[in-house]
């Protein structure tokens, strides 16, 4: 018997299914390719310096010493600002932090071409070593001393001692104020010895040791001087007890005459 004659089961062709499946895959690949091309073109357009340059700037903050022109000059030092997509915010922030008086800077990019700059300025608590400034925490910063409104105490000390000197001034200044005195300068020299210059010109030599005891000794002595206090030139407190008082030239002559 012919085997081909016995095989009467219908045969199903798979070709139409495969063809449809291949067509679907091909369509999907075309769609993905088009999406990829569009995405690439969009990103290239956004990164093109000629398309979305950062051309606007908004400066905010409670500012008394820093101006928008200062910010513009600091950013101009970068040479060229990129686009909204390409420009790194950290680079902008580092540039702005080089501006004198700027304590903190927060920078955000705003679509499509704007830089928002929010600044916080230092508050100058004291003048440090004649040409720098200190904030309330004793941090040294640069700023134009000529821009200061009102007077500031002048503090001096070796490098790295700004916090120590400022903290001592904060501690002792109220004690002098209670007697109507003002500390004009507080000096810590290289040898570790302290000196105070009062607003009335009197110089206090305190030395290295027993600092607070010697300050208390001066305040007690000042009360005893009474009307003679404004004739004092300096007070040397570098003794275990007592103090040496130096008088202004005219008063010193009177003291000598009395002694004679």
Domain-wise residue ranges, the chain: 56-121, 126-259
pLDDT reported for residue 250 = 73
Answer whether 56-121 and 126-259 agree in fold. Answer: no
- Does the structure show a pLDDT above 50 at 1? no
pLDDT reported for residue 260 = 45
pLDDT tens-digit readout, 108-128? 999 888 999 999 999 999 999
| 214 close to 168: Cβ distance less than 8 angstroms | no
pLDDT tens-digit readout, 65-110? 999 999 999 999 988 777 877 788 999 999 999 999 999 999 999 9
CATH number belonging to the domain at 56-121, selected among 2.60.120.260, 3.40.50.150, 3.10.20.310, 3.30.1330.80: 3.10.20.310
φ/ψ bin of 59: left (φ > 0), alpha (ψ from -120 to 50), beta (otherwise): beta
pLDDT tens-digit readout, 24-77? 777 677 777 777 766 655 555 555 555 677 788 999 999 999 999 999 999 999
User: What's the CA gap between 137 and 114, in Å, rounded?
Assistant: 34
Q: Cα-flanking dihedrals φ and ψ of residue 120, to 5°?
A: -120, 130
Coil, strand or helix: which one is 87?
coil
How far from the centroid of its chain's Cα atoms is residue 247's Cα?
A: 44
Q: Are strands 114-121 and 102-110 parallel, antiparallel or unpaired?
A: antiparallel
> What is the band of 11 on the pLDDT scale with cuts at 50, 70, 90?
low
> What is the band of 8 on the pLDDT scale with cuts at 50, 70, 90?
low
**CA-based nearest residue to 87, from 54, 46, 56, 50:** 54
Instruction: Report the predicted TM-score, pTM, of the whole model to 2 decimal places.
Output: 0.75
Write out the CATH class of domain 126-259.
alpha beta
User: What's the CA gap between 115 and 1, in Å, rounded?
Assistant: 91
């Amino acid at each position: 018997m012919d085997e081909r004659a016995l095989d009467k089961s219908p045969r199903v062709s798979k070709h139409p299914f495969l063809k449809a499946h291949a067509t679907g895959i091909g369509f999907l690949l075309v769609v993905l390719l088009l999406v990829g091309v569009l995405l690439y073109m969009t990103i290239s357009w956004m990164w093109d310096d000629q398309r979305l340059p950062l051309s606007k700037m908004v400066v905010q903050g409670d500012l008394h010493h820093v101006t928008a022109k200062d910010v513009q000059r600091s950013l101009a030092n970068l040479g060229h600002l990129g686009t909204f997509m390409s420009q790194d915010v950290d680079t902008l922030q580092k540039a702005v932090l080089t501006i004198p008086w700027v304590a903190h800077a927060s920078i955000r990019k705003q679509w499509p071409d704007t830089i928002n700059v929010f600044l916080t300025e230092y508050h100058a608590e004291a003048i440090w070593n004649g040409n720098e400034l200190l904030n309330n925490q004793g941090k040294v910063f640069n700023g134009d001393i000529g821009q200061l409104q009102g007077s500031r105490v002048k503090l001096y000390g070796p490098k790295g001692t700004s916090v120590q000197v400022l903290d001592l001034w904060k501690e002792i200044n109220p004690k002098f104020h209670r007697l109507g005195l003002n500390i004009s300068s507080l000096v810590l020299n290289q040898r570790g010895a302290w000196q105070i210059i009062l607003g009335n010109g009197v110089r206090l030599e305190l030395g290295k040791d027993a600092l607070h005891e010697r300050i208390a000794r001066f305040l007690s002595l000042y009360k005893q001087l009474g009307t003679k206090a404004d004739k004092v030139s300096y007070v040397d407190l570098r003794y275990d007890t007592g103090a040496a008082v130096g008088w202004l030239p005219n008063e010193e002559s009177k003291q000598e005459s009395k002694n004679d």
